[in-house]
Amino acid sequence: MTLTREEVEHIANLARLQLSEEELALYRGQLSAILEYFSQLQVLDTTEIPPTASVLPARSVLREDRVRPGLNREELLRNAPEEEAGQIRVPPVLD
């Protein structure tokens, strides 16, 4: 199972990554190997097994609707590369 070059470019684009020619070739090989490894699962016959979203016992854990303090703004913005007017400043994303 080998990914095409176009597929790798598409995945990189979804991840907003710009890859060089060398990286494209390198990741194409690595991603293909990962897929190959996981494709071993395909040999199992799952026709009798219902789709499973979780192996935990089916029991919802819900919290009451109560407000509790979170981060103050200074703490949050300390993690931001740039800030302005109490907001996180990022490159333009108009599209």
Residues 82, 89 contacting (CB under 8 angstroms): yes
Contact stretch for another protein (CB under 8 A) within 1-9, 18-26, 32-40, 85-93: 85-93
What distance in Å separates the CA atoms of residue 10 and residue 32, rounded to the nearest whole number? 14
93 binds another protein (CB under 8 A): yes
- Interatomic CA distance for residues 23 and 19, integer angstroms: 6
Tell me which stretch binds another protein (CB under 8 A): 1-9, 23-31, 35-43, 69-77: 69-77
| Residues 27 and 8 sit within 8 Å (Cβ to Cβ) | yes
Q: Is 35 in the site for another protein (CB under 8 A)?
A: no
Minimum distance, C-beta of residue 79 to another protein, in the bound complex (Å): 8
44 near another protein (CB under 8 A): no
Distance separating alpha carbons of residues 32 and 3, to the nearest angstrom? 6
Applying CB under 8 A, the residues found at the interface with another protein are: 14-16, 51, 53-54, 56-68, 70-71, 73, 76-77, 79, 84-95
